[in-house]
Amino acid sequence: MMIPQETRTVRVGLAGLGNVGAGVYKNVGRNSALIQKRTGADLQIKRVVVRNLTKARDVEVPADALSTDWRELVNDAEIDIIVELIGGVDEAFELVSTALQAKKIVVTGNKALLAERGQELFALAEKCGVPIYFEAAVAGGIPIIQTLQEGLVGNRIQSIHGIINGTCNYILTRMTQAGLGYKEALQEAQDKGYAEADPTLDVSGWDAAHKAIILASLSYGFWINPADVYVEGVDRVELLDIRYAERMGYAVKLLGVIRADGSGRVEVRVQPSLVPRSHLLASVNGSFNAVVVKGDVVGETLFYGRGAGQDPTSSSVISDLCDAAASLIYGFRHSGFVPHGLYGKPKPVDETVSHYYLRLLVDDVPGVLAQVATLLGERKIGISSVMQPEGEDTPPGSIPLLMMLHDAPLKAVKDAISAIQGLSCVREKAVWMRVEPLD
């Protein structure tokens, strides 16, 4: 990109001065000279919208630049770009749609907004001839959106496997490394600021699901309905299964899985999964994120970094600001989303296929394994390995039965588990998780 000899001033309106918004304000100011040299744009944050004018903040904003009404950003003729960091869906949708209609470029980090109403917004952006930038919506400081849009534009995306929620990854890491129970690990995550006071969106898996929807829609060119996404969180993961998984050579991670089959149907799901210890994803710990993208030309690529936090996420917002400024200087690019899979369809979750981990508590008597194997075999589900750990703290006369199952459709596995739980020799509700070989 040629940098123009004359610098152009680009004025920005910032909606939201929370953790990420404060980082954007701070880091744009700190690195303004560097950004100007690299892009030819003098980024100036002219106005900032907040909910509470009197709230103490880590950054100092001139009083005359503060407002509580985002419409002032839209109505200011000097503002070229609006950054939406207020969160939520309804008000954010109104802000973004109004900004687009006013011909303002939009930068947003709002994953829930894009997952639930992205199709409407990108259609409006196309109609208005104004782009939306959204790198910060997925995986914090990892430039995964730009990678899918530009770096891998010549590839058919075969699959994406991602650890895309830092809170859940921190919880599972502490359960694995420190032997904490789920509640203790969650409390520690809250104490350290990795989890919100109300962690429901994270631990339920829906934060990761919103991100997976965005990645899937970009990869396959049609918008995924949240109703077509299978979501499980980490709130039911037991320390016992993490220990058993370790003994079998696996780590438990909350994975977002996006994959197209041969007929163009796309599965999008988020759930705790067993990942082989030999794979790099198994070594992604703490609050870090990682995304593995497999393309038909490039093969497997791995993107790793901090998935949340003030500086990593503000870095992605600033990257988008620079791209937006470049589009003003050199001409607009596409709206932010290019449809290219008009005939793609979501794949029903019951038809998705994977390996499985199954744990049962059964009577310690002969013939139990044969009964279980029969019910699996009737549904054409093979058993790849069996383990019966001894010396466990179980009720008298019982023993754990661990099984690794071959590839099978989810419906067949659920039917088999339902039948197995009807056996008189099975004492407790079965525990199962998917296994992702990642080969």
The CATH number of whichever domain residue 355 belongs to comes to 3.30.70.260
200 shares its domain with 284: yes
Domain co-membership, 68 together with 55: yes
If asked whether residues 133 and 13 sit together in one domain, one would say yes
By CB atoms closer than 10 A (0-12, 13-18, 19+), residue 432 is: middle
Tell whether 31 and 118 lie within a shared domain: yes
* Active-site residue, 211 included: yes
- The pLDDT, as a whole number, for residue 5 is 57
**CA distances in angstroms from 142 to 139, 164, 309, listed in the order given:** 6, 10, 12
Same domain, 88 and 219: no
> CB count, 10 Å around CB of 151?
16
Q: Do residues 325 and 251 both lie within one domain?
A: no
The answer to whether the CB of 140 falls within 8 A of the CB of 285 is: no
What is the amino acid identity at position 357?
Answer: Y
In a domain, 339, yes or no: no
CATH of the domain at 94: 3.40.50.720
pLDDT score at 339: 80
Based on the domain organization, do 186 and 218 belong to the same domain?
yes
From the candidates 104, 111, 211, 347, give the one annotated as an active-site residue: 211
Q: Assess if residue 338 is contained within a domain.
A: no
CATH code of 227's domain: 3.30.360.10
Instruction: Based on the fold, state whether residues 103 and 162 are members of the same structural domain.
Output: no
Which structural domain, as residue segments, surrounds residue 179?
150-307
On whether the CB atoms of residues 19 and 310 are closer than 8 A, the answer is yes
Residues 224 and 164 reside in one and the same domain = yes
Mean pLDDT of successive 10-residue segments in the chain (439 residues)?
A: 71 95 95 93 96 90 95 97 96 98 96 96 94 93 92 94 96 98 96 89 96 95 94 97 97 97 93 97 96 96 90 93 91 76 85 97 96 98 94 88 97 98 96 93
Asked whether residue 55 falls in the same domain as residue 117, the answer is yes
Catalogue the E-assigned strands of 177-231: 230-231
pLDDT at 44: 96
The C-alpha R_g of the chain, in whole angstroms, comes to: 24
What is the pLDDT at residue 343?
A: 64
Domain for residue 3, yes or no?
A: no
User: Do the domain assignments include residue 342?
Assistant: no
Strands (E), 123-264: 132-133, 157-163, 230-231, 250-260
Q: What are the beta bridge partners of residue 288?
A: 306
In a domain, 335, yes or no: no
The pTM of the whole model exceeds 0.85: yes
Q: Tell me the C-alpha to C-alpha distance, in Å, between residue 331 and each of 42, 321, 327.
A: 17, 14, 5
Q: Are residues 110 and 160 in the same domain?
A: no
Name the residue among 255, 258, 262 with its Cα closest to residue 290.
255
Q: What is the pLDDT of residue 3?
A: 53
Q: In this predicted structure, what is the pLDDT of residue 111? A: 95
Residue 134 covered by a domain: yes
- From 273, 307, 341, give the residue that closes a domain: 307
**205 and 84 both lie in a single domain:** no
For residue 16, being part of any structural domain is answered with yes
Total count of domains within the chain? 3
Query: Would residue 54 count as lying in a domain?
Result: yes
Give φ, ψ of 265 to 5 degrees.
-85, 140
